[in-house]
Chains A and B, each alone.
Chain A
Amino acid sequence: MSLIIDVNNVSKHFGKATAVNKVSFEVEKGQIFGLLGPNGAGKTTTIRMINHILNPDTGSISILGEPVNPQSQEQIGYLPEERGLYKKMKVFDQLMYLAQLKGLSYTDAKRAIDFWLDRFEANTWKKKEISELSKGMSQKIQFIATVAHDPEIYIFDEPFSGLDPINSEMLKQVILEEKKRGKTILFSTHRMEQVEQMCDNICLFNQGNAVLEGSLQSIKQSFGNNTVLLDFIGDSAFLNELEGVRINNRSTNFAEIRLLENSTPQAILEIAMKHAEIQRFEVVQPSLQDIFISTVNDTKIAT
């Protein structure tokens, strides 16, 4: 495995505000890497620095062993969080322009654009202006604009936001396909189920700091088997009597219970059995959602 993105102790300030504070992480070739964190945590700023749109105040970023530069930009396909295309420009002209800006020749760009338009069954849109397309259609064009120059690295900022379920599923498939082709994908999101399904490694941002970094599996393991999933029939009032726990998720007949100090699964089971008919009792690793929330809350208290 070779290092493809190396973010090393990077900080970025805007005036007095610190957007990114001494962040380090590494992305290896062929990985899907997730940047997680609440809004305003510094994900987009970090992504812009990797894209060489912004320069870090301190620290360094390397792509394939070289400091970021105009050539490294051509290795990256970037889909920004706020999508945008020229509204009054024809689909083909627009894709051609953006691909040529990434360094492709006219013939190479034409071949790639035709391939992707075919793939998305969008060949008939070539001569249409973006303003004539539906939202879903222009999202596809936006995606083609990101990938047409066949970059080594894909960087997607909140790729699933605003996508309908069909486009969302299609994007997921494309990402997994590109991973199979050996491409590296870095994306930011706050949709946890997608991270759990797709990511190899993650980095969790909060208030400009990278508070958690590593492989998804090892992070989950480090939090231990400390979560109880409970399905039951009966009055759920007993959940309020439990001590030394935090209830992450509850409904009329389900609860996800996080064990804190001094509580054991057995104690919970005992109380539950007295009040309700138990249909499922399972001790599992915490969900990423839970890790996310508790880590963010912990760092909030700490700062």
Chain B
Amino acid sequence: MVNYSKIWLIIKREYKTRVQTKSFLLSTLLTPLLILGFMGFIIFMTLSDNEAPKQVVVIDETGRMFKPLTQLDATRYQPISANQTIDQIRELVMEDELDGYVLFERTFLSEGTPASFIHNGSGGITFFESLQSDVRDVTRQIRLKDNDVSEAVIAIFEERPAVENRRLNEEGVDEQSNAFLSSIGGILIGVFIFIGLFGYGAVLMRSVIEEKTSRIVEIITSSVKPIELMLGKLLGVCLVALTQFSLWIATYAGVSILAAPVAQFFINQRMGDVQNTLIANDSSGTAATAPADIDLSFLEQFSIDPVFILYFFVFFVLGFLMYSSIFAAIGAAVDSEQDSQQFMTPVMLPILLGYMLNFRIAEAPDSTFAIVASLFPLTSPINMVTRMLVSYVSFWEVALSIVLLILSLIGMLLLAARIYRTGILMYGKKPTFKELFKWLKQA
């Protein structure tokens, strides 16, 4: 019914004219830099747990808290000098000489008056939480001791059993898992598809409008059917998107292979620095403990499963063809980009919905709403891919999602083609929704 060799000619033109532009080159090169930046950021965040130790002066009116605290961390908890007043310490904190001070009032242990931690704002929530946990541990120790609890019970309280987080993969091998990272990855991959659907959808729409306003479309349709032109354009732009994604994935794969050795190199350098500061600050004479070896195996989490890439492409292509056929129809119906706004809104809603649901799905990938969103064709291109990355999705669910997507893609394509073929030859007044509906009904 359609002439494939002509569609192929159109695909080639759409592809070539885009891939050869400067903006394609620029966005293809810049995005990996952003990815690099992101990975660097994650590594930095992981490493910054081990940054130069904080110093906190302990003002201990109870007389019992300071010693056990220094036993926990001799560098962090510093004594108040004999002639120092609280005002002087506050001065030091304001000048960033000190990170802060903790005040235990006389009634802290007896009446449970809260301790206060006054600081200069550095260190953030992690620092505060670790300080709080130190204070709680020490308080618990003291209370246990005061009540003559046996050593065995104390040992039970001090126990910190470890839980290893391992995910069982399809081959039956369990591998180390990091739920946090895969959630981030799930959100990111959703953002990627969202931007791809939207960005390339807009590219396609602009191109349809351009062909219409430059009137070349009348020459083209005197050689090919409107549906052939539309299919050629959809597939051509889709190929451009796939090219860009492939280049990015290749860069990403290359970077993630290199990431571990590079990170190791920086860590080694950094460790040297940390050691030096420790020695320099070590006025109390307690032995400085070197930070434990940093576990770099988390970097394996950055590697992507090839099967996942395949699914990513399948869902992107199907989602793109479905949404972009609507974008093509909108482009055909209007004379300028400004006029397209009114029709864009109803199309944007489901994409935005999928984008927003994504954040919840990354947290709760197996909830009912996550399953529904990953099957519903208007949101599945974004949400199923995220779910697959974050959690294990059974094959039948993926297959059902793909079948539903293909069915709605075909339906959408046929409807869009009707608006498209009427719209490309209509100039002047912007059509109303009612008129678009009439175009749909025209045989």
Contacts and interface: CB of A to CB of B under 8 A. Distances in A.
A170 interface: no
Contact of B223 (A80, A84, A87, A102): A102
B385 to A, nearest CB: 34
Interface in A48-69: 48, 51-54
Contacts of B220: 98, 101
B120 interface: no
Contacts of B425: 48, 53-54
B218 interface: yes
Interface in B206-247: 211, 214-225
B218 to A, nearest CB: 4
Contacts of A27: none
A227 B13 CA distance: 57
Contact of A82 (B3, B13, B215, B223): B215
A163 B224 CA distance: 28
A86 B211 CA distance: 7
- Among A54, A87, A101, the one with the most B-chain Cβ atoms within 10 Å of its Cβ is A101
A128 interface: no
B83 interface: no
Interface string A67-102: 000100110101010111111110000000110111
Contacts of B215: 80, 82-84
Contacts of A15: 438
A88 B214 CA distance: 11
A145 interface: yes
The 6 A-B pairs at the shortest CB distance, nearest first, are namely: A84-B215, A101-B223, A82-B215, A84-B216, A80-B218, A78-B222
Give the size category of A's interface with B: 20 to 34
B414 interface: no
A78 B224 CA distance: 13
B269 interface: no
Contact of B3 (A48, A51, A70, A83): A70
Interface in A78-133: 78, 80, 82-89, 97-98, 100-102
B102 to A, nearest CB: 67
A97 B218 contact: no
Contacts of A48: 218, 425
Contact of A85 (B214, B222, B224, B438): B214
B438 A97 contact: no
B214 A53 contact: no
Contacts of A88: 17
A87 B214 contact: yes
Contacts, number: 56
Given A100-B9, A102-B223, A53 B216 contact: no
B9 A84 contact: no
Contacts of B218: 48, 53, 78, 80, 82, 84
B6 interface: yes
Interface of B: 3, 6, 9-10, 13, 17, 211, 214-225, 425, 438
Interface of A: 15, 48, 51-54, 70, 73-74, 76, 78, 80, 82-89, 97-98, 100-102, 145
Contact of B219 (A74, A80, A87): A80
A98 B214 contact: no
Nearest to B218: A80
9 contacts: A48-B218, A48-B425, A78-B219, A84-B216, A85-B214, A98-B223, A100-B9, A101-B6, A101-B223
- Among A48, A54, A84, the one with the most B-chain Cβ atoms within 10 Å of its Cβ is A84
Given A54-B425, A84-B219, A89-B17, A101 B224 contact: yes
B223 A73 contact: yes
Contacts of A101: 6, 9-10, 220, 223-224
A48 B217 CA distance: 12
Nearest to B12: A97
A15 B217 CA distance: 22
A86 B219 CA distance: 11
Contacts of B17: 86, 88-89
A50 to B, nearest CB: 10
Contacts of B438: 15
Given A97-B13, A101-B6, A84 B222 contact: no
Given A70-B3, A82-B215, A88-B17, A53 B9 contact: no
B228 to A, nearest CB: 9
Contact of B222 (A73, A82, A86): A73
A53 B227 CA distance: 12
A70 B225 CA distance: 8
A66 to B, nearest CB: 17
A85 B9 CA distance: 17
Given A54-B425, A86-B214, A89-B17, A98 B219 contact: yes
A98 B215 CA distance: 14
Contacts of B9: 97, 100-101
